[in-house]
Amino acid sequence: MKGNRVVVTGLSAITPLGLDLASSWEALLARKSGIVPVTRFDISEFDSKIAGEIQDFDPTTYIPAKQARRMDRFTQYAVACSQMLIKHANLVVDESNREDIGTIIGVGLGGLETIEETHKKMLDRGPGRVSPFFIPTLIANMASGQVSIFTGASGPNVCTTSACASGMHAVGYAFTEIMLGRAKAMICGGAESTISPLGFSGFTAMKALSTRNGDPQHASRPYDRDRDGFVMSEGCGLLMLESLESARERGACIYAEVIGFGASADANHITAPLEDGAGMALAMRRALKDGGVAPEDVDHVNAHGTSTKLNDLCETRALKAVFGDHASKLAICANKSQIGHTLGAAGGIENVFTVMSLHNGVIPGTINLENPDDECDLDYCADGPRQQQAEVAISNSFGFGGTNACVLFKRFTD
């Protein structure tokens, strides 16, 4: 039996489109791309030379300089986002409620940049030059840990690490914690920053990255037959989930309701999804069942949509398997066409945008879809943002290791 109703009372984001929620959302609806030539390191020897870099971010706006130096970039993003989130939710964390507020933030790879820099320092100057803050800086759970420290939230404090589904799992499990009465509110989402030589080398070796270097803003093109791989990106997206009772007690603004969560495993391959999309379909079916929603009640899908041939095909097949004839009526968008693939942060950021869609009655489009793949024949909103009040939306994330996660949202009307 269902427990507490769970609602969204706050949102925040740092993306390649903007340093906060408002600017990111505005750029998303304006069909802008955040993909640029890499400037963070010498990219000359790499096949792919583009990324969704976040530019002009100053961590000291949110974090004292000394503490910021002891954080990898992904943790800085998370702490900054958490402060914007608390403000957006108009939530005061104090002795009266701190034990009832938890933190679950998904991170796919952790402090890759810190690992690279420290390893070089050790090789060049010896192990005695390794900082005592090396381990606390790089570990993936430090995004959640530092957010807890900075906000004072002392409820459940967890990191989900499930590749590109990390952020989605975080939101799903945060929903479960509140539904079961283990917390009244949860700071949740995803953070990632792996735009580094080692990160690029790894994905380049897999031939996973787009090499459309001369035209970066058109490089990420989900469902287009000319797509040639995903674009690595970075960022953070956080949501404040809260029990409806708690939100009402404090008169919070409610942006949407979370009604379901589904997860599954392909049990197939370390990187490739099942070609018929069966694992993805299972996760979606479980989210629908969890929310007590029929397939035909869903209006909008925020797709995983990576701009890789196999993922796009498999997700499309999964949507057809789950929704049948109704699949052609779904308004589908792929945020990665504009922000690139933020890996562990993807589920967090894309859930933020999904909630914004429900709250504002507008569905963002999918850019760069000029020559659709013959098998990718659903409505991906390629014509741009659509003024449409969706009532129910599902957001998808799928990751290496065959891990699949979906969160189901409903427009809040009660």
pLDDT at 1 over 70: no
The string of pLDDT tens digits covering residues 88-100 is 999 999 999 999 9
- How far apart CA 393 and CA 355 sit, in angstroms, is 9
Dist CA 410 CA 392 (whole Å): 4
Three-class DSSP category at 346: helix
DSSP structure class, residue 87: H
Tokens 């906000």, located at residue: 151
pLDDT tens figures, 352-390: 999 999 999 999 999 999 999 999 999 999 999 999 999
What pLDDT, in 10s, does the model give residues 156-209? Answer: 999 999 999 999 999 999 999 999 999 999 999 999 999 999 999 999 999 999
414 within domain boundaries: no
When pLDDT is cut at 50, 70 and 90, the band that residue 2 belongs to is confident
Domain count, the chain: 1
Residues of the chain with pLDDT > 90: what percent? 99
For the chain, what is the radius of gyration of the CA atoms? 20
Q: Domain for residue 410, yes or no?
A: no
Q: Distance (Å, rounded) from C-alpha 79 to C-alpha 341?
A: 21
Instruction: Name which of 191, 165, 391 is nearest 261 in CA terms.
Output: 165
Of 341, 376, 381, 406, the catalytic one is 341
Mean pLDDT of the chain: 97
Q: What band does 229 get if pLDDT is binned at 50, 70 and 90?
A: very high
Domain coverage including residue 148: 1-401
Reported as a pLDDT band with limits 50, 70 and 90, residue 75 is very high
Residues 6+ away with beta carbon under 8 Å from 158: 102, 103, 104, 141, 144, 170, 173
List 304, 314, 333, 406, catalytic entry: 304
> Has residue 241 been placed in a domain?
yes
Residue 300: active-site member = no
Q: Which strand (E) or helix (H) includes residue 289?
A: helix 278-291
Respond yes or no: is residue 304 known to be catalytic.
Answer: yes
Catalytic site residue from 81, 159, 164, 406: 164
Residue 139 in contact with residue 110, Cβ under 8 Å? Answer: yes
Q: What is the CATH number of the domain that holds 211?
A: 3.40.47.10
Residue 251 lies in a domain: yes
Residue 357 lies inside a defined structural domain of this protein: yes
Residue 407: inside a domain, yes or no? Answer: no
Q: How far is CA 203 from CA 231, 317, 342, in A?
A: 10, 25, 13
Q: Is the pLDDT of residue 73 over 80?
A: yes
CB 102 within 8 A of CB 186: yes
* Torsional sign, CA 392, 397, 398, 404: negative
Q: How confident is the model at residue 252, as a pLDDT?
A: 98
Would residue 169 show up in a list of annotated catalytic residues for this protein? no
Give the pLDDT mean for 222-244.
Answer: 98
Q: Looking at the chain, how many residues does it have?
A: 414
**pLDDT above 70 as % of the chain:** 100
Whether 78 maps to a domain, the answer reads: yes
Asked if residue 257 has pLDDT above 90, the reply is yes
In a domain, 224, yes or no: yes
